[in-house]
A and B are shown apart, each in its own frame.
Chain A
């Protein structure tokens, strides 16, 4: 993928990864950001024109302070679409990115083609509280996010040696910056009342969920489907929260089938 930096009308500076050609597909990353390798995006780029913007506070994107609440985040998403000069793109969001994509679609339901929500945040069911990622120690993430914990460690650290104090400090600072941004819509409870707005969705919607998701368990997939009656729900086996990274082949096949 290539990358370039664009400026939004609000004043944020956003690095966008881009590849492929065809119908435009925007991918919004989760609270952990994009990783060093995102093989599912490469594969999707074989059929679509994929854009993966980094949220301010992530990677090289800046303007963190410009975004403070859910409305800011959702409008920022549309600002990016505008800055890229796209009309009616497909929106696909993973986890926190799903929450943002869903909010974007609720605000402007006729401005997108199709919506894909992957292990999406945004709802809260009191009987099934989502673990508090903001109190996780670095070594605790993998077990919630991946079926294969070793794979999780490798993806999450991007090959960094966390026994090296400098690498650890760098990781710590970058992680703090990312999650500080995420905290604005996810802390202390990842619920900004999306459930009240989902009735507005008109675009065809696909919900994709890992059967073994321990962070946002599958009961949330069912709740999304209840709240978005026209949505289609697909479970992926041998996948937890990081479905696109854990089962890229099955994931890309399902998404491609849906988007057409």
Chain B
């Protein structure tokens, strides 16, 4: 098992009456609610937590991309990743990811991801989300009915750019480039491992299987919905005749660990409530632009995770329901271990993106929960897929002689690691 510590980077100062007063945490949230001076400390606290997670032995540390969003302060996850790449040396840097249909031209992603891979010494996990409808259509103005087509073209361009040894001309529908010639190229060859976070579109399953990309989903809307999507994915894997390595899939899970189940509720319930009631308070009209999902997906009745119906549900969820229905895994290390085992086996996943900082959780609670999970839960879950223990196809392959934060380039030069 691989565990990646993720921080969505929510704004922790949304007012108590946020839900009543404003229609959406995303897209048209008043930016007067953001205070840049407080934001200075928020970024540093969150980045410190990511570095702390590395020190506790998490395999990866992760960030993602959202726009105009009160629960995701990373319009450019690459900036966060660049900071992490300089201050860490062991953990994978999981950027899950860059919404490649939004970059013009998309070789910007090929370039920045290559920079991150080179700076980090080959530790990048490269995520290519289509992006939510809120981000992609409403914030970044992409035409819903053409978003997937543009995404597909961006994907082809980036992959070719990374792997080509010669400049080439690209005559795309959305991008015309006379000279594609990536400098720098990534350390990981032929390319860093690719992760595709799914939002519930059935086309994504086939795309992942065909290209052998990791498929990931998340727990915001409970275990059952996650199970439905992962089951659909595994069905496609079987249909294509591919092996069933659990490392083909990842799941992002909200996790809260304390000494006891009671303590977990006492410490964390308010922050989980903040997340579900304020951070996921999204105007229904922004959840799913017409054409963002294909008719095939709509007919398959895979409702959008953040549709108006689901929205109505969130404020009614009690702590017990959140736990029983697998939105959140919380409790003592033993409780969490049991639930995680069920989850890992039930969904057949080899990667967990651990969402341990939740909503407006203060730093000390975040670190407390993070440490308990690392020390008292993770070790018991490490070997859940013994038959696949050597399968590193979806993990980064860093260079052995890479720099560590505590040493400088001069040290590497003295050691003779730099060929001069």
- Write the residues of chain A forming the contact surface with B, with a CB cutoff of 8 angstroms: 64, 68, 134-137, 140, 169, 172-173, 175-184, 187-189
* A187 proximity list for chain B (CB < 8 A): 137, 141, 143-144, 289
Q: Which of B141, B145, B173, B285 contacts A188 (CB 8 A)?
A: B141
Residues of B115-157 whose CB lies within 8 A of A: 137-138, 141, 143-146
Q: Which residue of A lies closest to B295 (CB)?
A: A177
How far apart are A169's CB and chain B's nearest CB, in angstroms? 7
User: Does residue B75 face the partner (Cβ distance < 8 Å to A)?
Assistant: no
Interface residues of B in 258-280 (CB under 8 A from A): none
Complex contact A180–B290 (CB within 8 A): yes
Given A180-B290, A183-B291, A188-B138, also A134-B144 (CB < 8 A): yes
Contacts of A181 in B (CB 8 A): 145, 291
- Say yes or no for B302: interface residue by CB 8 A criterion: no
The reply on B284 being an interface residue by CB < 8 A is yes
CB within 8 Å of A: which residues of B? 137-138, 141, 143-146, 173, 283-286, 289-291, 293, 295, 298-299, 301, 308
Residues on A with C-beta less than 8 A from B286 are 135
Interface centre among B289, B290, B298, B299 (most CB of A within 10 A): B290
Interface of A is mostly: helix
A173 touches B299 (CB 8 A): yes
Beyond known contacts A137-B284, A183-B146, A183-B290: 18 more, CB 8 A cutoff: A64-B145, A134-B289, A135-B138, A135-B283, A135-B289, A169-B301, A172-B298, A176-B298, A177-B295, A178-B290, A180-B145, A180-B291, A183-B143, A183-B144, A183-B289, A184-B145, A187-B137, A187-B144
A216 to B293, CA, bound (A): 27
A175 touches B301 (CB 8 A): no
Residues on A with C-beta less than 8 A from B285 are 135-137, 140
Report the Cα distance A126→B323, complex, angstroms: 48
What separation, in Å, do the CA atoms of A14 and B143 have in the docked complex? 23
Chain B residues within 8 Å of A134, by CB: 137, 144, 289-290
- The smallest C-beta distance from A95 to any residue of chain B, in angstroms, reads 16
Instruction: Give the CA-CA distance A136 to B143 in the complex, in Å.
Output: 16
CB distance from A220 to the nearest CB of B (A): 21
Q: What are 21 pairs between A and B in contact, CB < 8 Å?
A: A68-B146, A68-B173, A134-B289, A135-B289, A136-B285, A137-B284, A169-B301, A176-B293, A177-B290, A177-B291, A179-B290, A179-B291, A181-B145, A182-B290, A183-B143, A183-B144, A183-B145, A187-B143, A187-B289, A188-B141, A189-B141
Q: Which chain B positions have C-beta within 8 A of A140?
A: 285
Which chain A residue shows the least CB distance to B288?
Answer: A176
A residues near B141, Cβ cutoff 8 Å: 187-189
What residues on B are CB-neighbors of A173 within 8 Å? 295, 298-299
CA distance A232 to B390 in the complex (A): 76
Are A180 and B144 within 8 A (Cβ)? Answer: yes
Q: Lowest 10 A-B CB distances belong to which pairs?
A: A180-B291, A179-B290, A135-B285, A180-B145, A188-B141, A176-B290, A183-B144, A173-B298, A183-B145, A187-B143
Q: B144 contacts which chain A residues (CB < 8 A)?
A: 134, 180, 183, 187
Q: State how many angstroms separate the Cβ of A73 from the closest Cβ of chain B.
A: 12
CA distance A121 to B145 in the complex (A): 19
A134 and B133 CA atoms in complex are apart in Å by 11
| A131 shortest CB reach to chain B, Å | 11
A137 to B146, CA, bound (A): 22
Q: Which residues of A contact B299 (CB under 8 A)?
A: 173
Tell me, in angstroms, the Cα distance from A187 to B284 when the chains sit together: 18
Q: Is there contact, CB below 8 Å, between A184 and B146?
A: yes
